[in-house]
Amino acid sequence: MSKTVSVDKDYARGERERRMAMAERFSYHYEHTLDPKGRITIPSKFRDQLGNAITMTRGAGPCIRLLPPGEWARISTKYDAVDEDENPELYDKMRKLMFTSMTDNLPDKQGRLLLHPSMREYAGLDKEVIIAGANRHVEIWDKDRYFAFLNGDDA
């Protein structure tokens, strides 16, 4: 009988950890529009997961990446592990890609984020956008580019 209780506790603990890990993942996509001031409303599901201190960087695609504090800390730790003297080219490339476009952003009371004009220009954002969960972070795409990317088209 105690083995059954132990197995049940192990299963419950594993299930709880699985649910917590899934809660930290971002999935699905939402269609939104930028307001005239360049702000975007983050869907409440993502807003809850991202928290109040959101790190914004350039993403591949091109898109804008939104990172919760824990994910930014994980990426920064990886960056810190690169030896500048051993691999200066990689170190310099990572520094330019990550830190020259990185900014911390706080949503306003309505859950909107102001997207810096240079970030909007980089991602080609004008009006219609997609806010997409991308596992450990959120991406903001121009709507046409996003669907072209999904379809394998160059846009």
The two structure tokens encoding residue 99: 């830190």
Instruction: Report the pLDDT value the prediction gives residue 99, as an integer from 0 to 100.
Output: 76
Q: Which CATH architecture has domain 27-150?
A: 3-Layer(aba) Sandwich (3.40)
Tens digits of pLDDT across the chain (155 residues): 555 555 566 555 554 444 444 456 898 899 999 999 999 999 988 988 888 889 898 888 799 999 988 888 887 787 777 777 888 888 888 777 777 777 888 888 888 999 999 999 999 999 999 999 999 999 999 999 999 988 987 65
For residue 65, the cross-strand partners are 57, 139
Q: pTM higher than 0.85, yes or no?
A: no
Chain centroid to Cα 82, Å, comes to 22
The pLDDT assigned to 18 comes to 43
**What pLDDT is stored for residue 115 in this prediction?**
94
Report yes or no: 54 and 131 within 8 Å, Cβ to Cβ. Answer: no
**Domains of the chain, residue spans:** 27-150
Question: Which pLDDT score is estimated for 2?
Answer: 52
